[in-house]
Amino acid sequence: MSECLTLKKSNCKNCYKCIRHCPVKAIRFSGNQAHIIGNECILCGQCFVVCPQNAKQIVDETEKVKVMIQSGAPVYASVAPSFIANYPGSGISSLNKALKQLGFAGAEETAIGASIVKTEYERMLREENRDVLISSCCHSVNLLIQKYFPSMLPFLANVLSPMQAHCSLIKEAHPDAKTVFIGPCVSKKDEAQHYEGLVDAVLTFEELTEWLKEQNITLEQDMDGSENSRARFFPTTGGILKTMAQDLPGYTYLAIDGTENCIAALKELQQGNIHKCFIEMSACVGSCVGGPVMEKYNRSPVADYKAVSNYAGHEDFDIAQPDAGKLKKHFEAIELRNGLPSESEIDEILKKMGKNRKEDELNCGSCGYNTCREKAIAIYHGKADISMCLPYLKEKAESFSDAIVSNTPNALIVVNEALEVQLVNPSARKILNIRYASDILGDQLVRILDPKPFIKVLESRKSLKNCRTFLAEYNRYVEQSIIYDATYHMLLCIMRDVTEEERQRQKRENQRNQTVETADKVVDKQMRIVQEIASLLGETAAETKIALTKLKESVSDE
């Protein structure tokens, strides 16, 4: 199934919007990327519609159609009746003319096939005594039943879709022709591929529009009218019912649109309380005029309905009804591969998500799943990751940051631009002699600190870093940094208590001064001693000189 929808991995931002809007949760996340699970997807196209990054893309078959045209075979277009809402003011004759310019042999309305299908529905109700009959025009509804409500398959009308019925009619008239369906739907691409031989390719309105632009072809404003065109109502909610005879006694005829509503109706049917009922089901809200391509690029519910209503006639198309046997379609159940985990396995996963008690299961839906238990089952199936839980991540981040704030030896104080205290951690309370954080939270900073450096940072928008300050009131020295956060308009003050460092520094300085002073005294004393020694040596030398002189004279006299 997934080959009809692809993913631009570089665009996927891990926002989970697609899983939140997927009615059957057929998306798994791996490596922070969304992946469509083909076996579970019903191709409703909601992930394509809601993706804010345009990461989901419908596979373009324009080149395939060009090759078909170049082959020389006549290629006919079956144009979905919702075209009148997508191309306002341009009737089927305008489309036929433009498509012929592109190389098509011709274009007709799929509404012709719709008229055939509704007539077959009437016959089945009238002749086959069906208790409950569900329309089979919407391929996404068919896939929903085949995959998720296989027990309801007996209620699904085993009839070709209008697209298939019309293309079959074209091929009967032109045996060598190729057929191309053009509409607002993703799932029709899969229907054409799965039921081979009737529809050779499918283009969306978006693909056709781009092709027309490429060839500089402008659709003419030509609202060709026809009273025999009641089946043009088909692409609106209740459109099938508008074309049908609702005259079977005791029968209820109703229309349901939107996948969620279809799921709710199918669950009611499973309970066995609904009988004698014809149900028109459409996966898209508003039916085909609300198809994914229409919804993403041209969503105008009122204007679209009016466009279809004004273009539709009051009588059926004048065509021969094929034999019922030619309109039969077989639907088989499509088995899903996922089994259900045991309660103990679910509980184990919930605990890993931080859901240890029933009250921890917030069921907030931020991950895309309706309940925490659904999310746990998705994790078991490998479709989701524990980290997709926003409360879990928030609690984990807060717990981690709280642990850092609470246990760091540095004092942390956060104030707003009004200099009101927003946060004060235990280390700050210790330095500033604050017993409880509540004693100061919300109050002015001036109660605990000099606001002048904060005001300076606030005015200059320049952070102050590693400024050593003496807090006289607390008899403490701190190394202070004040950082301004322009994003959150907050001031963060980080203080490191350096009182002991400062005291040790002063002690070392005192010791150094004392050492210098002692050295000076020793030097002075030594100098005095030297001087005294020198003096004594001088006297002794003089006396020795005198004595020797006298001795010399005495010796000379002799």
pLDDT tens, 78-89? 999 999 999 999
- How would residue 397 be classed by pLDDT, with cut points 50, 70 and 90? low
pLDDT value at position 377? 81
Tell me the one-letter amino acid at 370: N
pLDDT in tens, 358-380: 877 777 776 777 788 888 888 88
Is the pLDDT at 423 greater than 50, yes or no?
Answer: yes
Sole residue written with tokens 């003096």: 535
**Across 95-123, average pLDDT:** 97
- Among 83, 90, 280, 36, residue whose Cα is nearest residue 184: 83
Q: Which residues of 193-220 are buried (b: 16+ CB within 10 A; e: fewer)?
A: eebeebbbbbbbbbbbbebbeeeeeebe
**Across 92-108, average pLDDT:** 97
**Across 27-53, average pLDDT:** 87
Is the pLDDT at 92 greater than 50, yes or no?
Answer: yes
Structure tokens at 307: 């466009």
CA distance 221 to 522: 114
CA distance 169 to 192: 15
Start-to-end CA span in the chain (Å): 146
Q: Do 47 and 21 form a contact (C-beta atoms < 8 A)?
A: yes
Taking the domains of the chain in order of start, what are their residue ranges?
60-327, 340-374+384-407, 408-497
The pLDDT mean for the chain works out to: 89
pLDDT value at position 2? 43
Q: Do 74 and 175 form a contact (C-beta atoms < 8 A)?
A: no
Beta bridge partners of 159: 328
pLDDT value at position 74? 97
Q: Do 46 and 3 form a contact (C-beta atoms < 8 A)?
A: no
Q: Do 476 and 497 form a contact (C-beta atoms < 8 A)?
A: yes
For CA atoms 103, 106, 111, 113, give the dihedral sign: negative
DSSP labels, 91-102: -HHHHHHHHHHH
Is the pLDDT at 121 greater than 80, yes or no?
Answer: yes
**Across 18-44, average pLDDT:** 87
Residue 476's SS3 state is strand
- How would residue 110 be classed by pLDDT, with cut points 50, 70 and 90? very high
DSSP labels, 48-63: HHH-TT--EEEPP-HH
CA distance 420 to 471: 20
Is the pLDDT at 424 greater than 80, yes or no?
Answer: yes
More confident residue, 304 or 14: 304
**Across 512-539, average pLDDT:** 81
pLDDT value at position 387? 67
pLDDT value at position 404? 82
**Across 332-359, average pLDDT:** 81
CA distance 470 to 389: 47
Structure tokens at 556: 């000379």
**Across 3-13, average pLDDT:** 79
pLDDT in tens, 228-264: 999 999 999 999 999 999 989 999 999 999 999 999 9
Q: Which residues of 14-27 are buried (b: 16+ CB within 10 A; e: fewer)?
A: eebbbbbbbbbbbb
Q: Which residues contact 479 (CB under 8 A, 6 or more apart)?
A: 466, 467, 468, 469, 495, 496, 498
The CATH superfamily of 408-497 is: PAS domain (3.30.450.20)
pLDDT value at position 4? 86
Q: Do 495 and 415 form a contact (C-beta atoms < 8 A)?
A: no
Is the pLDDT at 442 greater than 70, yes or no?
Answer: yes
DSSP state of 548: H
**Across 161-186, average pLDDT:** 96
For residue 183, give Cα distances in angstroms to 71, 86, 136, 316, 498.
23, 9, 17, 21, 75
Which range, 21-35, 155-169, 504-518, has the best average confidence (pLDDT)? 155-169
Tell me the one-letter amino acid at 90: S
Least confident of 80-84, 224-228, 411-415: 224-228
Which range, 113-117, 291-295, 407-411, 432-436, has the best average confidence (pLDDT)? 113-117
Maximal C-alpha separation, the chain: 180
Q: Do 168 and 117 form a contact (C-beta atoms < 8 A)?
A: no
**Across 203-217, average pLDDT:** 96
Pairing of strands 464-471, 476-485: antiparallel
- How would residue 529 be classed by pLDDT, with cut points 50, 70 and 90? confident
- How would residue 153 be classed by pLDDT, with cut points 50, 70 and 90? very high
Is the pLDDT at 1 greater than 60, yes or no?
Answer: no
pLDDT value at position 399? 67
Sole residue written with tokens 């991540």: 393
Q: Do 313 and 234 form a contact (C-beta atoms < 8 A)?
A: no
pLDDT in tens, 268-279: 999 998 999 999
